[in-house]
Amino acid sequence: MKILSIESSCDETAAAVVEDGRTVLADIVASQVEEHKLYGGVVPEIASRRHCEAISQVVTSALEEAKTELKDIDAIAVTACPGLIGALLVGVNFAKGLAFSADKPLIPVHHLRSHIAANYVCHPQLKPPFLALVVSGGHTSFVKVNDYTDFQIIGATRDDAAGEALDKAARAMGLPYPGGLHMDKEAVGGNEKAFAFPNPKVDNSPYDCSFSGLKTSVINLLHNAQQKGENVNIKDLSASYLHAVVHCLTQRTEMALDEFGFEKLVLAGGVSANSVLRREMQKLCDKKGVQLFYPSLNLCGDNAAMVGAQAFYEYQAGHLADLTLNAKATCEIDNIDTILPLQ
C-alpha cells in the first residue's frame, strides 16, 4: 500500500511516499529554520505563510522522487494534531483537497505517534509492545506502546517540554536556534559536574517531570554572573545543563523499565537526536538487558516519512477521516477519537 503523507505541524513543510509503513520511496523536507533563527524561535504566523508557499511544490517533488503519480497512491495521510494550529491547517486542508479530487481515503495522524513510527522506518524488525520516550520541542512523555495504535501515557512533563527547556536555556546562553542542537555541540568536552541543577519530583506521579525550574535556574545563574561582571564557561554550563535534563529522563525510564518489564525502549522526537541522551540511555539499556532504538538523525526532527509509517497502521485500524476533518492544536497521544468523524 502506497501512502502519500504530509506534515506541517511546526516549521518544516514535508511530504513523503511510504510503502506498507516501512519503505520510504520519497522524503522531502523544506525547512524554515534559517528564517525563524532570526527571531530566536518559531514565529507561528511566518510558519503558516511559508507552509502555504511551499506545500504544493513539496508534494509534487515527493511524487516525482517516488516516480509515482497521484492515481497510483492508495491513501493520503496528514498530521492533524497536535501542533501550531495555523501551520497544521495548511497541511490538513491541502490533504483534504487532494483526497477529494483524487477520490482517495484520508488518514489523520497524531504527530507524536508519527515520531514514534520514525523508528519503524529505521528498524524494520521493531514491533510493539515497547516503552517509548517522546522528547520534542513541545512534548515530553513516557508512553506504553501496547500496539501500533494502542498507547497509554504513564508520565509527562508538568510544564516545559525537554526541547523547550533546552531551547530557552540555550537562547539565554547566547546560542542560536534550535538551541537543543547547538547545546549538544557546545557541551562536547565541557565539564558536566561544573554546575548543579535541581531534579524536581512530582508527588504521587513518579513518571511526571518538570523542567521549568531547571530553565529558570540557568537564566538566574547567567543574570547573576552578568550583574557581577563574571564570565560563565558556556561549554561547562551546556554540559552540566544537558546532564541534568538527561538525568531526569534516564531516572524515570529506569523506574518504568523496572515496573513494567519492557524488553525494548524507543526514543522519539527532535531531542532523540541528542548525543548525551543516546549515550546515557544506551548505558541504562546495557545494564538492564533492554534493546534500545532511536531514529536516524534525518528522521528525528519533523518529516513526513514518519507520518506515512504511522498512517499505514492507522489505516489498518480503520482510523479514517472524511472531509469534516479539522486540525487540533492539542490532543493526547492516547485519544485521537476527537479528530475522527463521529460514528
Contact residues for 241 (Cβ-Cβ < 8 A; gap 6+): 166, 169, 183, 187, 195, 197, 214, 218
Q: Count CB-CB contacts under 10 A for residue 7.
A: 30
Residue 170, classified by CB atoms within 10 Å of its CB into exposed (0-12), middle (13-18) or buried (19+), is buried
Q: Is residue 248 within 8 Å of residue 211, measured between CB atoms?
A: yes
Nearest distance from residue 79's CB to ligand KG4, in Å? 10
**Among ligand KG4, Zn ion, none, what binds residue 11 when CB lies within 5 to 8 Å by partner kind?**
none
Q: Is the dihedral of CA 111, 115, 116, 117 positive or negative?
A: positive
Nearest distance from residue 194's CB to Zn ion, in Å? 31
* Interface with Zn ion in residues 263-322 (CB under 5 A): 302
Nearest distance from residue 146's CB to ligand KG4, in Å? 23
270 binds ligand KG4 (CB under 6 A): yes
Contact residues for 97 (Cβ-Cβ < 8 A; gap 6+): none
3-state secondary structure string across 12-65:
EEEEEEEECCCEEEEEEEEECHHHHHCCCCCCHHHHHHHHHHHHHHHHHHHHHH
Q: Which stretch binds ligand KG4 (CB under 6 A): 20-28, 50-58, 91-99, 263-271?
A: 263-271
One character per residue 141-170, x = contact with ligand KG4 (rule: CB under 6 A): ----------------------x--xx---
136 binds Zn ion (CB under 5 A): yes
Contact residues for 254 (Cβ-Cβ < 8 A; gap 6+): 284, 288
Pick from 181, 244, 305, 333: which binds ligand KG4 (CB under 6 A)? 181
302 binds ligand KG4 (CB under 6 A): yes
Closest CB to ligand KG4: residue number? 270
Nearest distance from residue 14's CB to Zn ion, in Å? 11
Strands (E), the chain: 2-7, 12-19, 23-31, 75-81, 106-110, 130-135, 140-147, 150-156, 264-268, 291-293
Task: Kindly state the cell numbers that stand for 156.
Answer: 509527562
Nearest distance from residue 179's CB to ligand KG4, in Å? 5
One character per residue 211-240, x = contact with ligand KG4 (rule: CB under 6 A): ------------------------------
When the beta carbons of 59 and 242 are compared against ligand KG4, the nearer one is 242
Nearest distance from residue 156's CB to ligand KG4, in Å? 14
Look at the block and give the residue holding cell 534493546: 291
178 binds ligand KG4 (CB under 6 A): yes
280 binds ligand KG4 (CB under 6 A): no
Nearest distance from residue 143's CB to ligand KG4, in Å? 15
Residue 110, classified by CB atoms within 10 Å of its CB into exposed (0-12), middle (13-18) or buried (19+), is buried
Contacts with ligand KG4, residue ranges (CB under 6 A): 10, 136-138, 163, 166-167, 178-181, 184, 269-271, 273-274, 301-302
